[in-house]
Structure 1
Amino acid sequence: MYIPDYFKVDNIEEISHFVQKNSFGTVVTTVQGKPIATHLPMQLSKIADDYFITGHLSYGNPQWKTFDTCDEVLVMFQGPHAYISSSWYEGENVPTWNYQSVHVYGEVSILDKEELKEDLTMLLQKYEKHREEPVLWDRLSNSLLEKQLNGIVGFKIKIQEIQAAYKLSQNRNKKDYTNIIDKLNEEEDFNSHKIAEVMSKRNS
């Protein structure tokens, strides 16, 4: 991913927080030179000094069969993004787009059954624990769980490289930056409001 110095993010804790918050990502592999992709909820974890991305695919999805032949896979995580009109600048310029994006490269392997159970338990815990009647792993019947386990393939990606870009008008002067935030908040668009929120927090 091309990242100008203005927009490059290196802080691993900040990147980890971003991935955990925007964990519905895209896994990209290749088969005979052709890229293929699947959109999935994934998790980031740290074991010793290594970081891993975990998730699962439907058994019927042929992409998991490419894991054995790919030396490296790409996972992309996308945050909020919004159009930036150059009419919001003090001087003449062209429009652009603000966004947050993280690319992760790594070596992938298939989870064994116990590893997959552990990963699914954590996934349910993350998205269900705050609900009034949470659907947690130990509350589901063994017959249902076994049936579902037979229909999916878990994977683990050992992260070897991270590229993170937060294009948030850091290259604009203070007056333009503040005006962009105000104008984004006037837009009738959820992503525009989220980008404005991110920019405001980074400016505080």
Structure 2
Amino acid sequence: MYTPDIYKNENQEEIKQFLQENSFGILINQTNGKLCATHIPLELDINKDGKQILHGHIAKENPQWKGFEENDSVLAVFSGPHSYISSSWYDHENVPTWNYLAVHVYGKIKIVEGEEAIKSLKKLVDKYEKNSENPIRVEDLSSKTMRQVRGIVAFEIEVTAIEATKKLSQNRDEKNYENIITELEKTQNRDSISIANEMKKCPR
């Protein structure tokens, strides 16, 4: 991912939090000489060797997984809030741009089966059920329902590199920076307001 130095985010705690809060990503690999991409939740974890990994699964009917063994290199893309930035908000002539948060995770993928696959599913379900009024648990599902697990391919990705971009108008002076925040808040757009809030937290 091309990122000018001024927009690079190398704060590991921030990146970890971003991946936890924006875990619905795009898994990209090459299968049979073609690029494939699937939109799925990918959960960040630490394995027994202390290495960062992403857990996930895709449908067995999805041919993408057949490329995991022939080429284990994959890319997972995670996007956060983003917003158009009008150059009419500056006190000088310039071109419009876009502010955004994004993380690219590179790694080596391998298929997991049996108990490891069930553990991966359990972590996913527990995370997203915790705010439900009547949360379900994988342990409580019937054997009939659990037979559906046969229709998925579970995997883990050992993280080899992470690139994070936090493009928040860091190249603007204080006056224009504050004006961008004000104008973003006026839009009443959820993503634009999220970008404004991120800009408020960004050290100057």
Identity of aligned residues (%): 47
Q: Which residue of 2 aligns with 1:161?
A: 161
Residues 140-163 of structure 1: CA distance to partner in whole angstroms, max 9, x if unpaired? Answer: 112211x22101000100000111
Q: CA RMSD, aligned part only? A: 1.3
Q: Match of 1:14, SS?
A: helix
Q: Match of 1:150, SS?
A: helix
Q: Which residue of 2 aligns with 1:42?
A: 42
Q: Which residue of 2 aligns with 1:170?
A: 170
Distance in 2 between the 1:15 and 1:90 partners?
33
Q: Which residue of 1 aligns with 2:102?
A: 101
Question: Superposed, which structure 2 residues align to 1:174-185 within 5 Å?
Answer: 174-185=174-185
Q: Which residue of 2 aligns with 1:135?
A: 136
Q: Report the residue type matching 1:11 in the other structure.
A: N
Distance in 1 between the 2:5 and 2:144 partners?
53
Distance in 2 between the 1:166 and 1:7 partners?
5
Q: Which residue of 2 aligns with 1:65?
A: 66
Distance in 1 between the 2:55 and 2:41 partners?
9
- TM (norm. structure 2) is 0.95
8 Å CA contact 2:31–2:66 kept in 1: the answer is no
Question: Shift of residue 32 of structure 1?
Answer: 4.0
Q: Match of 1:18, SS?
A: helix
Question: Superposed, which structure 2 residues align to 1:6-155 within 5 Å?
Answer: 6-47=6-47, 48-145=49-146, 147-155=147-155
- TM (norm. structure 1) is 0.95
Question: Shift of residue 187 of structure 1?
Answer: 0.9
In structure 1, stretches of 5+ residues that fail to align are: none
Distance in 2 between the 1:79 and 1:119 partners?
24
